[in-house]
Amino acid sequence: MLKIRVIPVLFLMNGLIVRSEGFAKFQIIGNPIDELERYSHWLADELVYVDITREGGHDIRREDHRVKSAGDDILAILRQIARSCFMPLTFGGRINSLEQVDAFIRNGADKVLINTAAHRNPALVTEVAETHGSQAMVAGIDVKRIDGAPVVHIDQGRTAVADGLADYARRLESLGAGEILVNSIDRDGAAEGYDLAALRIVAEAVSIPVVACGGVGGFGDFCEAVDEAGASAVAAGNVFHFTEHSYKRAKRTMRNRGLAVRYPYPS
Amino acid sequence: MIAVVGYGMGNVQSVVNALDHIGAPNAVTEDPRALSKADRILLPGVGAFRRAMERLEKTGFAAALRAGAAAGTPILGICLGMQLLATTGTEFGETPGLGLVPGRVERIPAGEAWRLPHMGWNDLDLRRDDPLLAGLDGQGDTACYFVHSYHLVPDDEGAISATCDYGTPVTATISAGSVYGAQFHPEKSQAVGLAILANFAAL
């Protein structure tokens, strides 16, 4: 039986892992290589790394000198992670070209996550799917509520897109995306649960797997994304960083609610 | 030495990383002549069947793989690499495969409720003893990481050594003589996958 995937998401900024809140506030929480060891040890189902470094923006390394940055060379970070990552690995953020995608895949990523470029250059989605297979092409949708309605945003939440959420998702699927990760800007770091209504709109619009992201506060939120919104996989960042034994406890909560999860632990 | 066929289809580095991790000597080769000297051949691959076969034929790897199989060299196809072992692929029209395992590669006949691609961790249901799967029986969790929309349907059902359930039985592993296939990614399936690769390395 196919399992509901539970996916830790790690946000990279200037070679450091950060906690993100509302796509606007960031706090250093670790080094990408150390974090990989933690999640490998936890037998995570899959990992997503998203580089949210802002070109020409504030360098978060100035804020803390205790945590060692893995540096600015994202491919070098990826190579080091891939060497001991025996689970599916998605890399995303700041991708604009097929050449970048080729480099990520060649250096050990299994999939790429593309968000803004999927809107600005839709042909890229098709090129990635044709070159590397649609399973390698994860399309990201960032949603922000405006007057209560879910609106697609790009440019790390700074620019609204005119298309409706369902149409936007369907177009990504027809362009060749193999999976869609839906993140909520309002819920990011808020620990109030996923934006279930937005998730449901996407899950009903497409027939490819939909990954829920953004807003998890408790393990019950994972179950809701599956039961109430039709997500195929659930992703989260903060809850795994800041809650003790959180990954295994999340799986146990889901299993106790009757959801099929992978549970390679001694009960 | 395991020769890993490098023909530009997918993330070969992951396979190399996993083989290095279990201490299995390996080398990626872009030279089909190297296969005749290898004592095992690993054919990875993700992407489209037709494009992959075109590359294998054009580079000379297709002939080298057929020669390797005829010589009894153990061959392991992973994901698309397993599907290429079949006689015929059916994605974007019929395409002849390597023909090492009589059978066809068909779209998974999943119903409406089952999203394709079949993506994620799914339990192996072992159908028979097989050296590739040695030690997995009764080991509790046997879930492996799958990502595909097509699967190999062999003419001889006995070639199937494990399936998984996705509304319908999906071919997970096959073996026919010295030719083996895994539809999932053992290099991405943590302990279970690494054990399967170690089994192949020890054949």
Question: For residue B153, what is the enclosing H or E element?
Answer: strand B150-154
Please say whether the beta carbons of A87 and B145 come within 8 A: yes
List CB contacts (< 8 A) between A255 and chain B.
none
B11, pLDDT greater than 90 = no
CA atoms within 13 A on the CB side of B163: 17
Catalytic residues of B: 79, 185, 187
Confidence of residue A66 (pLDDT cuts 50, 70, 90): confident
Find the mean pLDDT for residues B123-128: 96
Which chain B residues have a beta carbon less than 8 Å from that of A233?
120
- Tell me the pLDDT band of A169, cut-offs 50, 70 and 90: very high
Q: How far apart are alpha carbons A167 and A157 in whole angstroms?
A: 19
Q: How far is B30 from chain A (nearest CA, A)?
A: 15
User: Taking CA atoms, what residue in B is nearest to A106?
Assistant: B11
**Which of A32, A91, A254 lies closest to B13, judged by CA?**
A91
Q: Which of B136, B190, B197 to mutate to test the interface with A (most CBs of A within 10 A)?
A: B190
| Beta-carbon separation of A262 and B143 below 8 A | yes
For the stretch A238-260, pLDDT in tens is 888 877 789 999 999 999 999 99
B61-70 vs B49-59: helix crossing angle, rounded to 10: 80
Contact across the interface for B148 and A135, Cβ inside 8 Å: yes
Q: What is the arithmetic mean of pLDDT over A79-96?
A: 92
SS3 per residue for chain A: CECCEEEEEEEEECCEEEEEECCCEEEEEECHHHHHHHHHHCCCCCEEEEECCCCCCCCHHHHCCCCCCCCCCHHHHHHHHHHCCCCCEEEECCCCCHHHHHHHHHCCCCEEEECHHHHHCHHHHHHHHHHHCHHHEEEEEEEEEECCEEEEEECCCCEECCCCHHHHHHHHHHHCCCEEEEEECCCCCCCCCCCHHHHHHHHHHCCCCEEEECCCCCCHHHHHHHHCCCCCEEEECHHHHHCCCHHHHHHHHHHHCCCCCCCCCCC
Q: Helix, strand, or coil here: B25? A: coil
In chain A, the residue whose alpha carbon lies closest to the alpha carbon of B12 is A106
Residue numbers of the domain that contains B158:
2-201
Nearest to A208 among B11, B47, B115 (CB): B115
* pLDDT for res B202: 96
Packing angle of the helix pair B190-201, B12-21 (nearest 10 deg):
80
Taking the Cβ of residue B185 and every Cβ of chain A, the question of whether any pair is shorter than 8 Å is answered with yes
Mean pLDDT of B102-127: 91
Structure tokens at B100: 């090492």
**Cα separation of A247 and A9, whole Å?**
12
Q: In this predicted structure, what is the pLDDT of residue B155?
A: 98
B99-110: average pLDDT: 95
Residue numbers in A near B120 (CB within 8 A):
2-5, 45, 209, 232-233
Domain spans of chain A, in order of start: 5-256
Question: Residue A165: its pLDDT value, please?
Answer: 98
| pLDDT of the residue at B110 | 78
Residue in A1, A43, A85, A86 to test binding to B, most B beta-carbons within 10 Å: A86
- Is the confidence at residue A56, as pLDDT, over 80? no
- Judged by DSSP in three states, B96 sits in strand
| CB < 8 Å to A87, chain B | 145, 188-190
| Distance separating alpha carbons of residues A94 and A117, to the nearest angstrom | 8
Give the C-alpha distances (Å, rounded to integers) separating A82 from A9, B25, B191.
16, 18, 16
CA distance B97 to B167: 27
Exposure class string for A56-89: b at 16+ Cβ within 10 A, else e: eeeebbeeeeebebbeeebeebbebbbbebbbbb
Residues sharing a CB contact under 8 Å with residue B130, sequence separation 6 or more, in sequence order: B161, B162, B173, B175
H-run or E-run covering B66:
helix B61-70
Instruction: Give the gap in angstroms from C-alpha A70 to the nearest C-alpha of chain B.
Output: 20
Pull the structure tokens for residue A196: 């279930």
For residue A214, report the phi and psi dihedrals to the nearest 5 degrees. Answer: 95, 105
Q: What is the pLDDT of residue A73?
A: 87
A212: closest CA of chain B, how far (Å): 15
Give the pair of three-digit tokens for residue B72.
Answer: 């009894």
Pair B166, B118: CB distance under 8 Å: yes
Shortest distance, CA A60 to any CA of chain B (angstroms): 31
| Cβ contact B6:B29 at 8 Å | yes
- Unique residue bearing structure tokens 């199937």: B160
- Which two tokens mark A255? 């299993």
Give yes or no for B166 touching A (CB within 8 A): yes
Highest average pLDDT, of A40-54, B18-32, B104-118, comes from B18-32
Is the torsion defined by CA of B193, B194, B198, B201 positive or negative? positive
How many domains, chain B? 1
**pLDDT, averaged across chain B:** 94
pLDDT value, residue B112: 73
Helix (H, G, I), strand (E, B) or coil at B105: strand
- The pLDDT, as a whole number, for residue B139 is 67
Dihedral sign, Cα of residue A114, residue A220, residue A199, residue B167: positive
In this complex, which of B21, B46, B121 lies closest to A3 when CB atoms are compared?
B121
- The token pair that represents A261 in the structure block: 């999860």
Name the residue of chain B whose CA is nearest to A133's CA. Answer: B47
Name the residue among B55, A244, A21, B189 with its Cα closest to residue B173.
B189
Q: What's residue B183's pLDDT? A: 98
Query: How far apart, in whole angstroms, are the C-alpha atoms of residue A112 and residue A99?
Result: 12
Sorting pLDDT into bands at 50, 70 and 90, what band is B93? confident
- Report the CATH superfamily, name and number, of domain A5-256: Aldolase class I (3.20.20.70)
pLDDT digits (tens, 9 = 90+) for B129-169: 999 999 998 767 899 999 999 999 999 999 999 999 999 99
CATH number assigned to the domain comprising residue B27: 3.40.50.880
pLDDT score of B101 more than 70: yes
Mean pLDDT along residues A66-92: 88
Work out the pLDDT band at A267, boundaries 50, 70, 90.
low
